[in-house]
Amino acid sequence: MIVTEQVQQTAQRPSAATVAAAAYAVLVLLGLMMGVVGGFQHSWYLRPFPISAVGWVVLLAMACYGAGRAMRGRLAALAPGVGWMAITLIWLGGSPEGDVIIANDPAGYVYLYGGLIAILAGVLFSPSGGGAWLLTQGPYDPRPAEPPSH
């Protein structure tokens, strides 16, 4: 019994800044992964409609908005968008052989410009502050909650 109390007392929690930095890094990696997969899979058509490009735009908007809502901030909503934009800019450049990932066709335009609009919408519709749910004090916290000041 005494050993477990000592272990609980000496165990340190990660700081709020560390948890927030890890969360933002995961969100950027999510955007990077969406950009890699979406760049190669955006050109499926349900003739004449670029159904896959529209699907990727909707997923990107949901990821940005969901990150902003979950972390309660617009910077979190922008994090997946930054990852997506970084990969998309790489895909826009051609190779010396003339190959491109995002082609100059309707699916490419929907994916590129729709993705930019999706990021903008996700950031604008996200709340602008209030603290992240990840960093709030929950019922799992052994420290007593501070009483409200009047």
Give the mean pLDDT of 119-148. 70
Whether residue 42 has pLDDT greater than 80: yes
Whether residue 138 has pLDDT greater than 60: no
Residues 78, 119: contact at Cβ < 8 Å? Answer: yes
Q: Helix, strand or coil for residue 123? A: helix
Q: For residue 8, what pLDDT band results from cuts at 50, 70 and 90? A: low
- The pLDDT assigned to 95 comes to 74
pLDDT > 70 in the chain, percent: 79
Give the mean pLDDT of 108-135. 84
- The pLDDT assigned to 83 comes to 96
**Which of 90, 56, 51 is CA-nearest to residue 64?**
56
Whether residue 34 has pLDDT greater than 90: yes
- The pLDDT assigned to 6 comes to 55
Whether residue 120 has pLDDT greater than 80: yes
Residues 42, 109: contact at Cβ < 8 Å? Answer: no
Output the CA–CA distances (angstroms, integers) from residue 119 to 78, 88, 90, in the order listed: 7, 13, 18
* Mean pLDDT score across all residues of the chain: 83
